[in-house]
Amino acid sequence: MFDLPKSTYFGKIIAKEKIYQHGSTGKAIEELFVTQVEGIRWLNKISHETINISQGKQVDEIEVIEIILRVPAPDNRILSKIRKAIPHKILFTLVYCNETTYTVFYDSETSYSSCTLPKMIGSDTDSIWENLIIQIGNISITEGRTLDEQIVVNTEHEKLTRKIEKLEKQAMSEKQPRKRWELAEEARKLRNDSEDLI
């Protein structure tokens, strides 16, 4: 699957019960694991101890966790629970039938998924993790920006886009000409702000 040396292979089956032990797990979460997850396997451990790379300053190691699913996409609470149980950066390999999706979490709220197999690019764990986020999130970084800065800009751009779409929809359905013009004008100004961000 991944172009990784055998030294990174871990191949350990993780019992669902082991995941439940980390923090409080209600019956609803356990039920999600039972109904949505067939099995969990810790495939690889990417660190300076298992591969010829340097240890990063922010990321000590990256785990590749394979989840065999009973459903096309798992409830996000399942992935959150696994992330709490394994205190490292995780590249999730979600397998349903013959389809594989790769998922990474940038932070507790922002995640990215792709069906394209990412490449392990970098000379240390920080750069490998950053490149995984860029590939899986399909993120284009504007020259002079860091990944963190680009994600902030992209998030703000997405918020403005949603707001513009809402205003334009309201303008289309507004019966009063003056109010319709005000809504359209506000949407136009936001569109200019949005274009300035990129």
H or E segment and range at residue 193: helix 177-197
Looking at the chain, the whole-number percentage of residues with pLDDT higher than 90 is 69
- Give the C-alpha distances (Å, rounded to integers) separating 178 from 77, 137, 189, 190: 46, 41, 17, 19
Q: Which whole number is the average pLDDT over 133-147?
A: 94
Question: How large is the angle between the packed helices 27-36 and 76-85, nearest 10 degrees?
Answer: 110
Render pLDDT for 170-186 as a digit per residue (tens, 0 to 9). 989 999 989 989 998 99
The structure's pTM equals 0.84
What was the pLDDT predicted at 23? 67
Contact 96/122 with Cβ under 8 angstroms?
A: no
Render pLDDT for 143-165 as a digit per residue (tens, 0 to 9). 999 999 999 999 899 999 999 99
Render pLDDT for 33-68 as a digit per residue (tens, 0 to 9). 999 999 999 999 999 999 999 999 999 999 999 999
Calpha distance 115→113 (Å, rounded): 7
Comparing C-alpha atoms, which of 69, 75, 77 is closest to residue 24?
77
Render pLDDT for 99-121 as a digit per residue (tens, 0 to 9). 999 999 999 888 999 999 999 99
